[in-house]
Amino acid sequence: MHLTAQEIAGLRRDFERGLLAAIIDEQRTSGVAAMARVAQAFSIEEQADSTWHLLGRWLDAVHKGDAVLTAESFVLLRDAGRYLKTLDQQRVGAEQVALPVLDPVRTALTGLLVELDVEAPAESERWDRLLDHLDQTSEVADLRSGFQQVYDYGADLGWADVMEICGSQTNLLDRLLDGTLTIDVHHYQVLTDAKLLLRDLGAPQAKDGASRPSQIDDLWYERVIERADVLASGGEFDLATDDGPQTMEATAQLTAVLDILPGLLDGVRQEVASGPSDSSLDHSLETLSQAVQALQQKLPD
């Protein structure tokens, strides 16, 4: 199978609309399904890059509820969308535009798919139960017990990230339980972030043992582990300047939306051009396009 330029343009539009639907739809099912269909179409093309097969498998897992969309996921999908945008532009541009490299996307997808397959069902169910129980607790004593259970689970697997996260939280909770500290919004913020971070971890493979590289980046390390240590020693941090995970995901979503809007606006312009002339609508579209470009320059890549 060989995709024509017209088919590529249509698939690009479908992917962009699917990504937009995944961002604004709380259930995200329709958008994820649309992007999966595009990935499937590219995966069976002649000389297809394996990235599209991997993307299709991962989107199917998201659609079934076996995987979730995160801020990192939207960055990955945005990069795939940029590739499709450039591929589509090659058919209309006078110059040959260099296609973005898909290697980083392929590497990230491979890691995500490995994480889906590494745990046996019984172990996966046990992990989910421990985290579900932890999510439902708010009393200090119950939180202490919940984090200790998760720590013990990590210790059995030699899972260093889990032990470090839970160890920092149990140390903080011990200070709260013995009356050294009085719990406030700062403590709840760190404990909540620790729960979110645990949810984001991919389970280690049995062959990795304790040698697996840490999955905790510098931002999360500061938010969860360093802040817990600061609070346990009686220090504090400023919530007013906090840039939480919800903000990070919202920024990733906005960046993805801004990336696909120019193409959608071009499509609207072409449809308008075929109808009665409306200078005010054309002016509004141009103003919106300029606003998109201004916002793109202010957001991180």
Tell me: do 235 and 158 sit in the same domain. Answer: yes
Tell me: do 232 and 127 sit in the same domain. Answer: yes
Tell me: do 235 and 128 sit in the same domain. Answer: yes
Give the rounded percent of residues in the chain with a pLDDT score beyond 70.
Answer: 68
State which of 125-139, 165-179, 265-279 shows the largest mean pLDDT: 165-179
Tell me: do 166 and 183 sit in the same domain. Answer: yes
- Please count the structural domains in the chain: 2
* DSSP secondary structure string for all residues of the chain: ----HHHHHHHHHHHHHHHHHHHH-SS-HHHHHHHHHHHHHHHTSTT--HHHHHHHHHHHHHHHTSS---HHHHHHHHHHHHHHHHHHHTTT-SS-PPPPP-HHHHHHHHHHHHHHHSS-HHHHHHHHHHHHHHHT--SHHHHHHHHHHHHHHHHHHT-HHHHHHHHHHHHHHHHHHTTSS---HHHHHHHHHHHHHHHHPPPPPTTTGGGSPP---HHHIIIIIIHHHHHHTT----GGG---HHHHHHHHHHHHHHHHHHHHHHHHHHHHHTSS--HHHHHHHHHHHHHHHHHHHHS--
Tell me: do 257 and 108 sit in the same domain. Answer: yes
What pTM, to 2 d.p., does this model score?
Answer: 0.48
Tell me: do 157 and 212 sit in the same domain. Answer: yes
Per residue in 34-83, pLDDT (tens digit) is 999 999 888 877 566 778 888 988 998 888 877 888 888 888 899 999 89
Tell me: do 280 and 172 sit in the same domain. Answer: no
Q: Which domain holds residue 281?
A: 5-117+249-298
Tell me: do 230 and 272 sit in the same domain. Answer: no
Mean pLDDT (the chain) is 79
Q: Among 242, 265, 287, which residue terminates a domain?
A: 242
Between the alpha carbon of residue 125 and those of residues 11, 69, 95, 129, 198, the distances in Å are: 37, 20, 53, 6, 15
Q: Among 203, 227, 242, which residue terminates a domain?
A: 242
Tell me: do 101 and 132 sit in the same domain. Answer: no
Q: Among 200, 227, 242, which residue terminates a domain?
A: 242
Per residue in 205-214, pLDDT (tens digit) is 554 545 567 8
Tell me: do 67 and 178 sit in the same domain. Answer: no
Q: What's residue 164's pLDDT?
A: 95
Tell me: do 111 and 151 sit in the same domain. Answer: no
Q: What's residue 99's pLDDT?
A: 81
Q: What's residue 100's pLDDT?
A: 83
Tell me: do 25 and 108 sit in the same domain. Answer: yes
